[in-house]
Amino acid sequence: MSYTIEYNRKVYRVPGDYGAVSYLLLARRGDNNVFGSDGLRCKDWYLDFFGDVSDFWPHVGRNAGHCHGGGLQRAVGWMETKYISVEEYIAIYRKAFWAAKPITDIFSDFEVTLNVVLRGDKEKAMLLSDCHGPERAAALDKFFKEKGGSLSLSQNWYGNKTSEGFVVVKDLEGFREALQLKGRVSSLVEGFGGTVRIDFEAIGMRRRRRW
């Protein structure tokens, strides 16, 4: 049976308008059946949740429900996994929630990048100007120019031409803008087989297995 393994999690507090606080949850997850070239299971940090506390706990509860049938398990050591109960999963998240850090700490913990891939065909790569919704495409273009990034032409495994680019987000304003852009632009781009995603690469947290 295939299942998801949760390795780690981090919760950040994001201050909003009028004293409101939102929460950002990053979870390090991977599949039990997917291995990398180093012989270890592939795992990555994902943006699991961003929103109000009233939506945070229902989201955690739904994930906790997947633990009951073993669809979501905990990592133990390098290769082992452990079944956890719904209550144990909730307890882990209670601890993580109360240890929530201010959002500004995310930039010392992770290198945050906004990645955009626009997929074209064999002849021509898709450009931002080809997207439907010129306002949204212009907003993405403006963000790339302001942050010093650009979309460059490339080619994927199947020989289709793509235009790809990434921008390193270094401050809270940029992060907010990247989140908004992801929400606005993903429907625009994903319809054509492209992707818009925010990647989190942990700084100084990578451990290598000693053989």
Partner 1 sequence: MVTVIEKGRAVYVIQDEQFSDADYLLLVKEVPAGHNDADGEACKWTALGFSWEYSLWPTIGERAGLCEVGRIRVNGDADLFNRSGVETMEGYVALYRDAISKAVDGKKLFERFSVTACIKIPGEGVAGVKDDCERDGLVKFLSEHLGVGTVPESEAIVPIDSLSAFKAAYSLSLRFPGADNRNPFVRFELKLKERVCEKVCV
Nearest approach in angstroms of CB 55 to partner 1 is 8
State residue 146 phi and psi, 5-degree precision: -65, -35
Give 101's Cβ-side CA count (13 Å radius).
10
Q: Which is nearer to partner 1, 68 or 124 (CB)?
A: 68
Q: Which is nearer to partner 1, 67 or 185 (CB)?
A: 67
Distance CA 173, CA 175 (A): 5
Nearest approach in angstroms of CB 69 to partner 1 is 3
Q: Which is nearer to partner 1, 57 or 192 (CB)?
A: 57
Q: Is beta strand 21-31 parallel, antiparallel or unpaired with respect to 101-102?
A: unpaired
Nearest approach in angstroms of CB 200 to partner 1 is 24
Burial grade of 151 (CB within 10 A; 0-12, 13-18, 19 or more):
buried
Q: Which is nearer to partner 1, 93 or 143 (CB)?
A: 93
Alpha-helical (H) ranges within the chain are 53-68, 86-98, 106-109, 134-146, 172-190
Are the C-beta atoms of 82 and 70 separated by less than 8 Å? no
Are the C-beta atoms of 70 and 3 separated by less than 8 Å? yes
Nearest approach in angstroms of CB 153 to partner 1 is 40
What is the binding site for partner 1 (CB under 8 A)? 53-54, 56-71, 86-87, 90
Q: Which two tokens stand for residue 133?
A: 């919704």
Q: Which is nearer to partner 1, 85 or 155 (CB)?
A: 85
Nearest approach in angstroms of CB 107 to partner 1 is 29
Nearest approach in angstroms of CB 65 to partner 1 is 3
Q: Which is nearer to partner 1, 66 or 161 (CB)?
A: 66
